[in-house]
Structure 1
């Protein structure tokens, strides 16, 4: 009976290609610890490292007849671990970028929603203040600002002088400026 511990990596690999399970077990025992430490130094996640090592040895057994060593077995195993680590890091980077993108999208959506809510609230306040204007002043003001009639058109429509229309609009703006404050009034002017 062979003592597999005394065999070289090359001899173990040749036996592995002949489907020798004991050779595979010896390769596993010989390299699982050093490969684990190597991977852990890069990933710092025990579960992730266990998965990497498990996958590496699973692929080694499954593809044992397809693998051709160009150097030595340890070089092949360390390179395979390194490549798996690179894939994990790349995947984590993609996930991280995706999460940041989603967070930015959510923040942007919240900002737009917040802006829309505030805009609607301000519009309601402005509409309420307009409704509180005296009846004739409100009518003149709405024709001027919402229907976009000129002072002359309002004068003709309501049968009052252009000077009265101008005075009513000016007075309405003064009242709204007082009630809405400077900031609200400036926003009001931008909307109308």
Structure 2
């Protein structure tokens, strides 16, 4: 137990030094985390060259935003989330096949093996659920019947005893409301998860 505590204290001191602009601390972080995030990004891009570029961008941004690390509670989660955002942004630009991006998002979830690494993903799902809960009751019900139960417009109309056009209009309003909510309050990763799981 003492060894674990010592390691965590050293890690906190290392990131504190990095936040103060210590280049030696930055190099240690770079060498430690590059070995971890490279295979993580490669799993999503399937390209060694692209992965190398993304990893370099991650550490460039990390250095440029080092001052903000003074307020980061979970550095590992922060770095992996940064790598995830960079990767998904890259895939969004180069891939017309949205399924590739969607698979990458779920590969990210499967890759995570501890609580810190899954925080960002779980928070994204919670944010989407919060957006859904903000909808008016009928609109929320229609959204859940469509997206969570997989019912067709006709099936929803029959169940709720309303017209198909009403269902379609209400579902469209729901999707726009959720998207607007996430654009204002959520990260790019959260917004992508929602958009990719709600393509018509």
Query: Fold conserved (TM > 0.5)?
Result: no
Q: TM-score range by the shorter chain?
A: 0.3 to 0.5
Q: TM-score, normalised by structure 1?
A: 0.43
The alignment's TM-score, normalised by the length of structure 2, stands at 0.42
Relative contact order (alpha carbons < 8 A, sep ≥ 6): 1 or 2 greater? Answer: 2
